[in-house]
Amino acid sequence: MTTALVSLKGIVKRYVRGKQRVQVLHGIDLEIRAGEFLALMGPSGSGKTTLLNLIGGIDRADEGDLLVAGERINALTARQLAQWRAHNVGFVFQFYNLMPLLTAQQNVELPLLMTNLSRAQRSVNVKAALELVGLADRATHKPAELSGGQQQRVAIARALVADPTLLVCDEPTGDLDREMAEQILDLLQIVNREQHKTIIMVTHDPKAAERATRQLHLDKGRLIHADSSLAA
């Protein structure tokens, strides 16, 4: 039986907006299996990105337990959490978040600078990551010299270069046209199926969600629907 890589029990998240205290997530219970490709869907303001940020260790829950790979991450100190993220989570964002003055190779290498790897080993890992996303021939190009789809491929290579336990993607195709979006989704499926990476993807796009092995829907901070059927 496939084990749960991510386990959430009674997760509550609140934010202060002006004089109001707004509850964004209402007692979320969820398990995500190792090797799963999960799509989180729902209207704007439903809590999708908040939930993604909690799982990725960017934010903290106000109530409940959150375990990732057996680590109770909501109990970690800020320093411990930063170290945990560096070793366990790869992030892919809608707008790539690449450093404009660095080459593709240098952008991909950034997460490895927080490790004890030698320069030679970092170079090997970066080359392998760029080959995986089909951009070995663009290693010396800066972001402005790359298309949007190529920049997102660099971002995915950067997310994978440290061999994370979990890949979290926030609207990874939201800034791309349909053709480029399909290419990125193809790549994420390859990463999931061949590299056996667990992927959690927030998306508004039903076509993108169809690529996942499971879809979850959030509305007003509550899970309202779960479809466990495999994508065709």
Segment 52-89, tens digit of pLDDT: 999 999 999 999 999 998 899 989 999 999 889 988 99
Domain ranges of the chain: 35-61+78-227
Q: Residue 31: its pLDDT value, please?
A: 95
- Maximum Cα interatomic distance, the chain, rounded to a whole number of Å: 53
Checking if the pLDDT of 228 tops 60, the result is no
Out of 2-6, 193-197, 204-208, 218-222, which region has the weakest mean confidence (pLDDT)?
Answer: 2-6
Q: Where are the alpha helices (DSSP H) in the chain?
A: 48-55, 78-88, 104-109, 119-132, 148-160, 178-194, 206-209
Just give the CATH number of 35-61+78-227. 3.40.50.300
Q: Residue 10: its pLDDT value, please?
A: 96
Residue 232 CA to residue 229 CA, distance in Å, equals 9
pTM of the model: 0.89
Q: What is the mean pLDDT of the chain?
A: 91
Q: Residue 104 in contact with residue 112, Cβ under 8 Å?
A: no
Residue 131 CA to residue 117 CA, distance in Å, equals 20
Q: Residue 125: its pLDDT value, please?
A: 95
Checking if the pLDDT of 1 tops 70, the result is no
Stretch 164-178: mean pLDDT? 92
